[in-house]
Amino acid sequence: MGVDVNDHLSISAVTVGAGSAIDAGTGFNVPAAHPNPIIAAGGIPDSLNLPAEAIRQAFSNVLNDTPGDSLKYGGVKGFEDLRDLVAQRQNRLEGLKLDRDNIIIHNGGSGCLDNICKAFLDPGDVVIIEAPTYSGTTRCLKGHLADLVEVDIDDDGLIIEQIRHAIDEAETAGKRVKMVYCTPDFQNPTGATLPENRRRELIDLCSKHKVLIVEDCTYSELYYYDNPPPPSMFVLSNGEGVLKLGTFSKVIATGLRAGWVQGRKDYIEAMGRVRFDMGTSPILNHMLANFIGSGQLEPHIEKMKRIYGKKIDTLVNSLNENCAPYVKFSKPGGGFFFWFECIGVTSQEVVDAAAEEGLVISTSANYYLDKENSNDKSHVRLAFSNASLDDLNEIGIRLGKAFNKLMK
């Protein structure tokens, strides 16, 4: 008789379950019967405009100039020159006074969150999250045995009064609310941005109850129309009670798997204590330092913002022309995602009908804790960042056909 794996699983492995490839940004099925499928389900940078040559040159520079340093262990906080550059860049962008000891480099934003959980979460601690939110985030938090509480968001992001109620309810039950996790800028999946007044309310509320704010700023720099989001909560709080996540995955390429946490120095030091993977790839850290130090990051981001702005305009025009009676939406000001409400039919019906037309999109159920019994049956997430302009024009046509079939 073989050994049953369930006899050996940790509580974490049992709690989080098997999950799916979608949680890691892959695994969306292509409609096999359609000759020209459009995949608009996973949010990744435009694949035709990746700075491949600049990255290749940066790797070459590093291997030519510092092969010894770049090909040895790099320490748990990351390459010091890269941490310096990240701190200096954040100081310039946000008017801060950070140095390298305010920064720790990680394996993308997901690695950042995992390390935060290791340093600051105990099993049973309450973590308040947005509903809906990205499924990979919730799996990470569940894997650290947190007690997750969903709070609704509207067109302006988190509803602060619901957070207040969730904190009071947990404390009345004798539970410790340890953390609020949110993506305040161009949220995944809704594209919503939290206004400054709500940010200040959240900071005050969490400060009163000693709750840590984890601010995921993955998409914050990818704003369109020269209209940046409000100041980060890290800035508004002067770094007190807030940890901010940043990543190079969305502004450069997801395959880099490189991100950072900025925080008060004692918080960053605590994160280093519970990191046992010996740090991220030193050669990748050196390459990024060379790429950023050469001045190529800023013009690349500006170029991509113009591209994504044109893409969202194209998508919105296509939807207005072909789907106006059937969809309701607010146009996002940045990020990779377009969230719309289906009128008269369920989101799952639309996703299924769109697949028959060769369009792969994602139902709202994927972004709630209880996917099978989610109250939201009407929203769909469409990831437009990697679609061509021709495909974005075609998306409205295919969705219109799907809606017309459903409405017969």
Residue-wise pLDDT tens digits, 354-393: 999 999 999 999 999 988 888 899 999 999 999 999 999 9
Question: Cα–Cα distances in Å, from 59 out to 81, 280, 285, 404?
Answer: 15, 16, 10, 51
- Please report the pLDDT score of residue 349 as a whole number: 96
Looking at the chain, the domain(s) classified CATH 3.40.640.10 span 52-295
- Please report the pLDDT score of residue 225 as a whole number: 87
CATH topology of domain 52-295: Aspartate Aminotransferase; domain 2 (3.40.640)
Give the model's confidence band at 243: pLDDT under 50 very low, under 70 low, under 90 confident, else very high: very high
Model confidence at 1: pLDDT above 60: no
Q: For the residues 78-96, what does the mean pLDDT come to? A: 97
- Please report the pLDDT score of residue 23 as a whole number: 58
How far is 334 from 408, CA to CA, in rounded Å?
35
The radius of gyration computed from the CA coordinates of the chain, to the nearest angstrom, equals 22
- Please report the pLDDT score of residue 286 as a whole number: 97
- Please report the pLDDT score of residue 32 as a whole number: 64
Q: For the residues 115-140, what does the mean pLDDT come to? A: 96
pLDDT digits (tens, 9 = 90+) for 146-159: 999 999 999 999 99
- Please report the pLDDT score of residue 59 as a whole number: 96
- Scanning the structure block, which residue is given the tokens 């009908």? 353
Average pLDDT, the chain: 94
Looking at the chain, the domain(s) classified CATH 3.90.1150.10 span 35-50+299-407
How far is 347 from 381, CA to CA, in rounded Å?
9
Q: For the residues 320-331, what does the mean pLDDT come to? A: 95
Question: What superfamily would CATH give domain 35-50+299-407?
Answer: Aspartate Aminotransferase, domain 1 (3.90.1150.10)
- What's the predicted TM-score (pTM) here? 0.94
How far is 278 from 33, CA to CA, in rounded Å?
47
Mean pLDDT lowest among 159-173, 193-207, 252-266, 360-374:
360-374
- Please report the pLDDT score of residue 130 as a whole number: 97
- Please report the pLDDT score of residue 293 as a whole number: 96
Q: Which residue has the higher pLDDT, 120 or 33?
A: 120
